[in-house]
Structure 1
């Protein structure tokens, strides 16, 4: 069981129930939207276990993915409109020992630069997975109130950047920020399993030859799927 510093003294998880005792006197209102329904949860890190899943923001309904669908190391993580079917791989993640692994790239969510900056923005990115002894900036825990926090620093959480509606736009940047008492939907996340979604809603991109030979035909509509 990972140790949590400062904010939470105890952390107990069951498949659909979160129980917590706080060492801090700070209190927050409970929010039913924070509940994750019908997903088996890891008893150690709080994420869905043995599942590919979307990580969805409560401020805009968008999901985490690498910028420009890149599979390269160092590429920043942003939020994008949720996609399904063939082109959803870049938006799907799996937890393995606290690492959040992207299905398309095989890389993990990482604190860019390796540490949280005090006076400058700290972005998250995808990067090659490191050995456990060097992975302090790559392992995460899901807190009961809906926050995703670095395993060794639960006073900071993943945060959608922006103000005055910018944070609700597709492509908003995702940072590490100090945990907030107010306006906290920018910092709260829910999970959706891959197989909870329709098999195909977004069509694959056809090759040029396919477009020429089948320009009058379409078999990509959802209502045609048997």
Structure 2
């Protein structure tokens, strides 16, 4: 039987992001909420923010509509948006049925707070957050589950009678420690990314994991052929870092730190070279991309070492 965590939350509840503390909400300024985009916003304790399990549907209190994958299609180049719609008969509701996965582990093998909410028709795709700092909004989307850097994919269920829990600070944050990146380098990377790619990054002394993830998506999911040296390097570093994290979780012993660093740098350079050879190279410099990938993967590695 698929878990919906309904044994703990039979009544109306808030669905709260472990990373930001914001909640999933319907929009409250629409004449007809059908097909409207579902958002993630700071809690206001209104009916638009309350949800209840109805079998495998997630029903909204204010609208009586359910979470729905827009047009029922998964998208890699554009976001797969989550909207509201009337509940369909179960046999036709493949894009409206949801489950909960508990006991999520981080890259260090530690259990993470919260749960993953996944689509029953595509259980590798989970509810995620797409932020737009230009207008200060966050959309609820569906995105492939990430073994690393999955903070925006983790949720907790808060009963409507426990509103005081909404005032608690978020359990985790989604940025690299500022001490891992020299400010001059961070400024260069920050200025090379659009606000949407930078996510919630507020200082040039921080390089968000979400920025790595955005570059990784451009390369490996969207297969964008026009990439900057920076984007190539960040995608290659992130891909190398992800693979290393997954491999080391199953390893009985770990090599010495110097060997790990050397291996990561070599792998990141090879990956950057492979990406470079497949993209539009007219305005790119291969040596720059490889050198940058080598530095960035070490910064990601050091971020793991400094995790508590």
Q: TM-score range by the shorter chain?
A: 0.5 to 0.7
In 1, distance between residues paired with 2:5 and 2:159?
14
What does residue range 1-226 of structure 1 map to in structure 2 within 5 Å? 1-2=1-2, 44-47=3-6, 48-70=8-30, 72-84=33-45, 88-144=46-102, 145=104, 146-162=115-131, 166=133, 171-197=137-163
In 2, distance between residues paired with 1:189 and 1:69?
25
* TM-score, reference length from structure 2: 0.46
Alpha carbons 1:58, 1:188 under 8 Å: kept:
yes
Structural RMSD (CA): 2.3
Worse-matched range after superposition: 110-119 or 129-138: 110-119
Alpha carbons 1:69, 1:90 under 8 Å: kept:
no
In 2, distance between residues paired with 1:102 and 1:55?
11
In 2, distance between residues paired with 1:137 and 1:68?
23
Gaps of 5+ in 1: 3-43, 199-226
Give the structure 1 partner of residue 191 of structure 2.
none
Q: Displacement, 1:58?
A: 1.5
Q: Displacement, 1:186?
A: 0.8
CA-to-aligned-CA distance 1:88-142 (integer Å, 9 cap, x gap): 1000000011100000000000000112123321100111110001100001011
Q: Displacement, 1:160?
A: 0.5
More helix by percentage? 2
Give the structure 2 partner of residue 28 of structure 1.
none
In 1, distance between residues paired with 2:44 and 2:162?
13
Gaps of 5+ in 2: 105-114, 165-308
In 1, distance between residues paired with 2:136 and 2:159?
21
In 1, distance between residues paired with 2:5 and 2:123?
13
Q: Displacement, 1:162?
A: 3.4
Q: Displacement, 1:177?
A: 0.6
Greater CA radius of gyration, 1 or 2? 2
More strand by percentage? 1
Give the structure 1 partner of residue 300 of structure 2.
none
Alpha carbons 1:81, 1:170 under 8 Å: kept:
no
Higher relative contact order (CA 8 A, sep 6+): 1
Cα 1:49/1:196, change in 2 over 3 Å: closer
Q: Displacement, 1:45?
A: 2.3
CA-to-aligned-CA distance 1:11-63 (integer Å, 9 cap, x gap): xxxxxxxxxxxxxxxxxxxxxxxxxxxxxxxxx42344421000001221100
* TM-score, reference length from structure 1: 0.62
CA-to-aligned-CA distance 1:136-180 (integer Å, 9 cap, x gap): 0001011102111001221110111138xx49x962111111100
In 2, distance between residues paired with 1:101 and 1:152?
18
Structure 1 residue matching 2:161: 3-state secondary structure: helix
